[in-house]
Structure 1
């Protein structure tokens, strides 16, 4: 396989719990955004292109912020996710305000990605090792029936400032993904990690792999996603808050025996911004990585 993989960044989210546009907020010592570290790590892991998924209203602001830094460093493309994207006129929901979710965002990039690709959130820091692991997989191992996700141990992806939602993974003897359940209201309670969502109290064992939405796909997956999307829309016509998620796509492919998902072990370091109080924690963590020599003093000089 000669094509370098592409990095698809989901940056259309509103960030309601954070209270601002965290996709373009500066956290690094030179006001670098979190996603700039992902792009930097992707470039040194062999990725050849980055595609931003954004809302129309932040497109120009995002271009102004990122293009001067990325020009000449990596190929860049921009895609809009709107409530009309890939929605036939007869299935439009006139009163809908909420975006359709992460799998819909991926589908919006169908026409600009023709090579294996990774998907990340704009507001999560995934770490150099994670990009190296997934970049290697996408360059040499990915196939139409073999995709991947980077797994993170549950105890490393909690917030000190509130509960979080995580895709909790079930694995088989080969360490591959069998299925994923979205668990909400997860927090540490004393020595235990507990989810209090979904009408039950569930203890989650330390070391359980969870998804932080860092996926690797063969580009043939777009046809599968589009097929699922065509079924999702009419089935949810009366639900203005329905969302079409990447884990749904993965679960469907696994259940139909159409594809397997490797869980890669590159997920060593993660931090993200869910709440405003997470901001100083992220700033401190990034400064420590710079001080340790993981990143140069200025990412783009």
Structure 2
């Protein structure tokens, strides 16, 4: 079986686990957290290695809450995202506290990845279909091309909204071959009686969106080759950071978008029909718990999950 890895970005999680961190609230019938379901679905789809991107200060608690359990099931590696972990010649501004972004997070895993991989957020539930499609895409034989081969899960917008407030989504633009041509970061998308809509910050009016449009949930299928590009791009990013830019981030969608614009990459968008779950708002927790109860009742998951 070809080696493939699930890379989980968890460095943004707080230093106190359990109920104190909404993203790591117990949402499964047996106390499972969302990350448990992502790992379960990835392993079921064929991924056979887990790489956790965390911070050094949360390592002990992270291992206790989830890492030690998962190590008994599959191969696990831990890597650490650190504000001060920068290429030679660059230093972190003394007043910077915000992480460098998802691009920097994945770059932290470079030494632990030698195989094709999928990268996800720790606090999002993606469903089974996306893991299967990305895994199958990563392991299939492809004709050689000068362009980098990337894929992403494309979620149907109406399946990614919260009942309790606005969300930010990367709205995808595709060509006739279902390839990605651009992502527009769209803020404060809310449910309305007419369908999803986003607040236009300039006018304050709502802009109607197509409920069936595909959006990115930061679930990418990548190869080790991408990490080389990511590393070079990070140096260029840092060179452009000006004094006072203490919140500027190096983001995966922006890196991919730049590669598309430079005609250096082709991105296949793999449509998934699963419903996203996440605890964006504290009020979302009960809805998420009910959703997992229903999935267990339907036989989609066992109870306990890893029984």
Which bracket does the TM-score occupy, shorter chain normalised?
over 0.9
Question: How far apart, CA to CA, are the structure 2 residues paired with 1:54 and 1:141?
Answer: 32
**In structure 2, the residue corresponding to 1:276 is in which secondary structure?**
coil
CA distance in 2, matches of 1:288, 1:139: 32
List alignment gaps of at least 5 residues for structure 2: none
For 1:29 and 1:256, how far apart are their aligned partners in 2? 47
TM-score by length of 1: 0.93
Native 8 Å contact 1:91 1:233 kept in 2: no
Structure 1 stretch displaced more, 132-141 or 163-172 = 132-141
How many pairs does the alignment contain?
Answer: 298
**TM-score (norm: length of structure 2):** 0.92
1:171-191 deviations in Å (ceiling 9; x for gaps): 000011100011111112320
Query: Which position in structure 1 is the counterpart of 2:208?
Result: 203
Cα distance in 2 for residues equivalent to 1:48 and 1:31? 24
The aligned counterpart of 2:110 is: 110
After superposition, the Cα gap between the structure-2 partners of 1:14 and 1:44, relative to the gap in structure 1 and judged at 3 Å, is closer
The alignment status of 1:72 with 2:77, answered yes or no, reads no
CA separation of 1:114 and 1:161: change in aligned 2, threshold 3 A: same
- What is the Cα deviation at residue 3 of structure 1? 3.1
Corresponding residue SS for 2:254: helix
Question: Structure 1 residue 87: deviation in Å?
Answer: 4.4
Q: Which residue of 1 aligns with 2:8?
A: 9
RMSD: 1.9
Shift, 1:14, TM fit = 4.1
3-state secondary structure, aligned to 1:79: strand
Indicate which of 260, 283, 293 corresponds to 1:287: 293
2-side partners of 1:20 and 1:213: how far apart?
25
The runs of 5 or more residues in structure 1 that have no matched partner are: none
1:1-301 residue pairs with structure 2 within 5 A?
Answer: 3-14=2-13, 20-88=20-88, 90-141=90-141, 145-199=148-202, 201-238=206-243, 239-301=245-307
Q: Is the 8 A contact 1:34 1:124 kept in 2?
A: yes
